[in-house]
C-alpha cells in the first residue's frame, strides 16, 4: 500500500514567520487531503487537493502528483496555528493512509 | 447543522467487556469512516462504508465490527475489548471523492 511520510516531524516558529510542510507519498494517488488537529484534538479539513494549487487565506497547498509530493504553506503564522498537521492519501477512493504528522508550535 | 456527532465522548471498559460507539452525520453524505488514533501517531482506518448498506475493511479491522444502520448512522462495536484497543476513535463522513469531515472523537480506555 501507499507509504506517506511527512516532514519535518516538529517545528517551532515565532509568530509572524512562514513555514512549509511537506508530504511525500510512495505511489500515485487519487485523493489527498490536509488536516489540522488543534490542541483539543479536533480535526479540521484544510484542503482537498489531489493535484494543483489551492489557497485559503494564509494557507495554501500544492500537490505535484507526478513527483509524488504535496506542500502546505503557512504564512504569517499565529499562535492559533499550533497543533498537528496531517496529510492523508488514497490510491483508490476510500482507504486513506495518514502520515504521522508535523507538530507545529507557534510562539507569541 | 451539527455535522458529525459521536457518543460517548469518553468510556472506560474492563478487558472482555463489549461496547458500541455511535456516529451520526446530518450532511447527507454517502460515505462514512471509522479511524483510531494512538498517541503520537496519525489516524488508521478501521472500517469504511462507501454507501448505505455497504461496509468494508480498512487498515486495522481486527477486533471490530461495524453497522451502517442507515444513511446517517454508522456504528462501531468492540465485542471483547482488549487493552490494545485503548485509543481515540474518530468517525468521519464525506461525499464520494470529497473532503472528509470528522466528529469530535471518543476516548476509550480499556483496563
Residue A94 pLDDT class (50, 70, 90 cuts): confident
The answer to which of A6-20, A90-104, B18-32, B65-79 has the lowest mean pLDDT is A90-104
Residue B40 has pLDDT above 90, yes or no: no
All cell numbers assigned to A2:
501507499
All cell numbers assigned to B103:
466528529
Look at strands A59-64 and B10-13 and give their pairing: unpaired
Q: Which residue carries 474518530 as its cell? A: B90
Would you call A94 and B41 a contact, using CB atoms and an 8 Å cutoff?
no
Cα four-point dihedral sign A6, A54, A30, A27: negative
Residue A93 pLDDT class (50, 70, 90 cuts): confident
Would you call A94 and B56 a contact, using CB atoms and an 8 Å cutoff?
yes
Chain A CB contacts of B33 below 8 Å: 94, 96
Share of chain B above pLDDT 90, in %: 88
Q: Which residue carries 462501531 as its cell? A: B76
Phi-psi region of A52 (alpha: psi -120 to 50; beta: other; left: phi over 0): left
Closest CA to B67 of B86, B82, B81, B47: B47
Closest CA to B33 of B76, B2, B63: B76
Q: What are phi and psi of A84, to 5 degrees?
A: -115, 135
- Position B42 scores a pLDDT of 87
- Position B79 scores a pLDDT of 94
Of A30, A31, A94, the CB nearest to B48: A94
Residue A92 has pLDDT above 90, yes or no: no
Would you call B31 and A94 a contact, using CB atoms and an 8 Å cutoff?
yes
Chain A CB contacts of B41 below 8 Å: 100
Residues whose CB falls within 8 Å of the CB of residue B62, separated by 6 or more in sequence, listed in order: none
Closest CA to A1 of A96, A85, A86, A70: A96
What spatial distance separates the first Cα and last Cα of chain B, rounded to whole Å? Answer: 36
> What mean pLDDT is reported for chain A?
95
> What mean pLDDT is reported for chain B?
95
Contact in structure between A86 and A9 (CB atoms under 8 Å): no
Contact in structure between A88 and A98 (CB atoms under 8 Å): yes
Residue B13 has pLDDT above 80, yes or no: yes
Give the residue on A whose Cα is nearest the Cα of B58. Answer: A95
pLDDT tens readout for residues A24-36: 999 999 899 999 9
Give the residue on A whose Cα is nearest the Cα of B55. Answer: A94
Cα distance from B42 to chain A (closest Cα, Å)? 4
Residue B98 has pLDDT above 90, yes or no: no
Interface of A with B in 5-64 (CB under 8 A): 30-31, 33, 35, 41-45, 48
Amino acid at each position: 500500500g501507499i507509504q506517506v511520510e511527512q516532514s519535518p516531524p516538529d517545528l517551532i516558529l515565532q509568530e509572524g514567520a512562514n513555514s512549509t510542510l511537506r508530504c511525500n507519498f510512495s505511489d500515485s494517488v487519487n485523493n489527498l487531503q490536509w488536516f489540522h488537529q488543534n490542541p483539543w484534538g479536533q480535526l479540521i479539513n484544510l484542503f482537498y487537493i489531489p493535484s494543483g494549487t489551492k489557497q485559503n487565506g494564509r494557507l495554501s497547498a500544492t500537490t505535484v502528483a507526478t513527483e509524488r509530493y504535496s506542500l502546505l504553506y503557512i504564512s504569517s503564522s499565529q499562535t492559533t496555528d499550533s497543533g498537528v498537521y496531517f496529510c492523508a492519501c488514497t490510491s483508490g477512493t476510500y482507504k486513506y493512509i495518514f502520515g504521522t504528522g508535523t507538530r507545529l508550535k507557534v510562539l507569541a | 447543522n451539527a455535522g458529525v456527532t459521536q457518543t460517548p465522548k469518553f468510556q472506560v471498559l474492563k478487558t472482555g467487556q463489549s461496547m458500541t460507539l455511535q456516529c451520526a452525520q446530518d450532511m447527507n453524505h454517502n460515505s462514512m469512516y471509522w479511524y483510531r488514533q494512538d498517541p503520537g501517531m496519525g489516524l488508521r482506518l478501521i472500517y469504511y462504508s462507501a454507501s448505505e448498506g455497504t461496509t468494508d475493511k480498512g487498515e486495522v479491522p481486527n477486533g471490530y465490527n461495524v453497522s451502517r444502520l442507515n444513511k446517517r448512522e454508522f456504528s462501531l462495536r468492540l465485542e471483547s475489548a482488549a487493552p490494545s484497543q485503548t485509543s481515540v476513535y474518530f468517525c468521519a463522513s464525506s461525499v464520494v471523492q470529497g473532503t472528509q469531515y470528522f466528529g469530535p472523537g471518543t476516548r476509550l480506555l480499556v483496563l
